[in-house]
Amino acid sequence: MLRLKRVGVSAELATVVCVDGNDETRTATIDALEAAGFAVRACSSVSEIEPALDDSVGCVVTAAQLPDGDGFDVVERVREHTPDCACVFFTEASPSELPRGGRDQIVEYVPRSVPNAHDRLGDVVSAAAAEVTQAAYPLPEDESERLAALAEYDVEALSALDAFERLTALITSHFDIDVAFVGLVDAHEERFVACEGANWRTLAREDTICTHTILTDEVMVVEDIREDPRFAGVDRLDELEIRSYAGARLTDGDGRALGAVCCIHGEPRSYTRAERDDLRRFADEVEEQLGLRRRLKDGGD
Amino acid sequence: MATRHGSHYEFPNLPLNGVSPGTNLLLTGPALGGTRELLLRLLLGEDGVLIVTADTGARKVLTAFEGVGGRIDRNRVRVVNCTGESGDGLGDIVASVGSPGDLTGIGIEYSGQYEQVYARGYDTVRTGIYTLTPLLVYSEDVRPVFRFINTVTSRIRTADGLGVCAIDPSAHDEQIVNSIAQPFDARIDVRERDGDLALRLQGLPDQPTEWTAVPPLS
Say what the pTM is: 0.92
Range A14-40 average pLDDT: 95
Res B195: pLDDT: 85
pLDDT of A298 above 50: yes
Burial class (CB in 10 A: 0-12, 13-18, 19+), A253: exposed
ipTM of the complex: 0.91
> B102–A103: do the CB atoms touch at under 8 Å?
yes
B139 contact residues in A (CB cutoff 8 A): 103-104, 233
Pairwise CA distance, residues A45 & A62, whole Å: 10
- pLDDT range class, residue A129, cuts 50, 70, 90: confident
The residue extents of the domains of chain B are: 23-205
For domain A15-130, the CATH class is alpha beta
Spatial CB neighbours of B193, under 8 Å, sequence gap ≥ 6: none
- What is the DSSP pairing of strand B162-167 with strand B125-130? parallel
What are the start-end ranges of the E strands in chain B?
23-28, 48-53, 77-81, 94-96, 125-130, 162-167, 186-193, 196-202, 212-213
**Which residue type occupies A186?**
D
Question: A133-142: per-residue pLDDT in tens?
Answer: 799 999 998 9
How high is the pLDDT of residue A226? 96
Contact B144, A106 (CB under 8 A): yes
- Count of pairs with CB atoms under 8 A, one residue in A, one in B: 140
DSSP 3-state assignment of A183?
Answer: strand
List chain A domain ranges: 15-130, 143-300
A108 contacts on B by Cβ (under 8 Å): 107, 111, 151, 155
Up-side HSE of residue A149: CA atoms within 13 Å toward CB?
19
Nearest to A192 by CA among A210, A170, A174: A210
Q: Could you write out the DSSP letters of every residue in A41-90?
A: EEESSGGGHHHH--TTEEEEEE-SEETTEEHHHHHHHHHHH-TT-EEEEE
Q: Which of residues 86-145 of B touch A (CB under 8 A)?
A: 95, 101-105, 107-109, 111-112, 115-116, 118-119, 139-144
User: Would you call A214 exposed, middle or buried from its count of C-beta atoms within 10 A (0-12, 13-18, 19+)?
Assistant: buried
Q: Which residues are B78's β-sheet partners? A: B50
- Interface test mutation site (partner A, options B141, B162, B202, max chain A beta carbons within 10 A): B141
Regions in chain B scoring below 50 on pLDDT: 1-5
Set of chain A residues whose Cβ sits within 8 Å of the Cβ of B160? none
Superfamily of domain A143-300: GAF domain (3.30.450.40)
Of B119, B176, B202, the CB nearest to A229: B176
B23-205 CATH fold = Rossmann fold (3.40.50)
Q: B204 with B185: CB under 8 angstroms?
A: yes
Name the closest residue on chain A to residue B80, using Cα atoms.
Answer: A95
Length of chain B: 218
User: Which residues in chain A touch residue B101, judged by CB atoms under 8 angstroms apart?
Assistant: 103
Question: Residue B80: exposed, middle, or buried by beta-carbon count in 10 A (0-12, 13-18, 19+)?
Answer: buried
Residue A136 has its nearest CB partner, among B147, B180, B202, at B147
Nearest chain B Cα distance for residue A300, angstroms: 38
| Virtual torsion, Cα B98, B102, B105, B109, nearest 10 deg | 70
All residues of chain A having their beta carbon less than 8 Å from the beta carbon of residue B179 are 138, 212, 215, 230
Q: Does A4 sit within 8 Å of B185, measured CB to CB?
A: yes
Residue B96 distance to chain A (closest CA, Å): 9
Q: How confident is the model at residue A281 (pLDDT cuts 50, 70, 90)?
A: very high
More confident residue, A105 or A159: A105
Letter for the amino acid at A216? T
DSSP state of B119: H
